[in-house]
Amino acid sequence: AQSVAQPEDQVNVAEGNPLTVKCTYSVSGNPYLFWYVQYPNRGLQFLLKYITGDNLVKGSYGFEAEFNKSQTSFHLKKPSALVSDSALYFCAVRRPPYGGATNKLIFGTGTLLAVQP
Amino acid sequence: GAGVSQTPSNKVTEKGKYVELRCDPISGHTALYWYRQSLGQGPEFLIYFQGTGAADDSGLPNDRFFAVRPEGSVSTLKIQRTERGDSAVYLCASSLTSREGEQYFGPGTRLTVT
């Protein structure tokens, strides 16, 4: 069965400091991994995805994520946090699109990022 | 261009009533998805359409839930005999293809069953 774990309910960081939001996954086969951000009263916004290739993926708003197959992790990172980055972040996984695999995303429970000025 | 739109944004209904939630995907997107997000949780998959057909409905919780996409564009999620436990935000997403395309989400419909 596929699953995603986001071990931290909340991450606090000071503006200008680097941030990391953790995600580990369990899926059979090579995973497709995604990060989404949710601002209050707004829908989920796509940040970045890993399908294949370079383990370091760059996305929107200066975010990046590192795929680590041996640790089954896909942590979200940003070198310098902004107050406007404060939001709820979701990691998601799906199985690759072959062998009858469905296209559904399995989401983690989310991590609230709070960036203090 | 226009994103995924969902109507209504909020819906309050009484227990036992029937509700319909509408999703208008991004133009040209062939795949459409419904998810449900309860408070403090991540979205949970309900159903996925490729074109007009439901390719995967394994996430529908029971036979009170049904969804259609008759012309391969707009989709309607239908809930019969609503229960208080159905209260949640219902999210719709679409993607250009079903293979590798990332899913783009609408703002959601907040359903409250009293």
Contact B42 A90 (CB under 8 A): yes
| Cβ contact B94:B29 at 8 Å | yes
Comparing CA positions, the residue from B35, B42, B8 lying closest to residue B95 is B35
Cα separation, B94 vs B104, in Å, equals 5
Q: What are phi and psi of B57, to 5 degrees?
A: -115, 25
Per the prediction, chain A carries an average pLDDT of 92
Residue A43 has pLDDT above 90, yes or no: no
Could you please report the per-residue DSSP string of A31-57?
PEEEEEEE-TTS-EEEEEEE-SS-SEE
pLDDT > 70: percent of chain A = 97
A55 Cβ neighbours under 8 A, 6+ residues apart: A66, A67, A68, A69
pLDDT tens, B7-20?
999 999 999 999 99
pLDDT tens, B36-65?
999 989 999 999 998 899 989 999 999 999
Query: pLDDT: is B45 or A41 the higher one?
Result: B45
- CA distances from residue A47 to A7, A90, B26 in whole angstroms, order as listed: 20, 10, 18
CB atoms within 10 A of CB B42: 22
Contact A103 B106 (CB under 8 A): no
Cα separation, A37 vs A88, in Å, equals 6
Contact B45 A36 (CB under 8 A): no
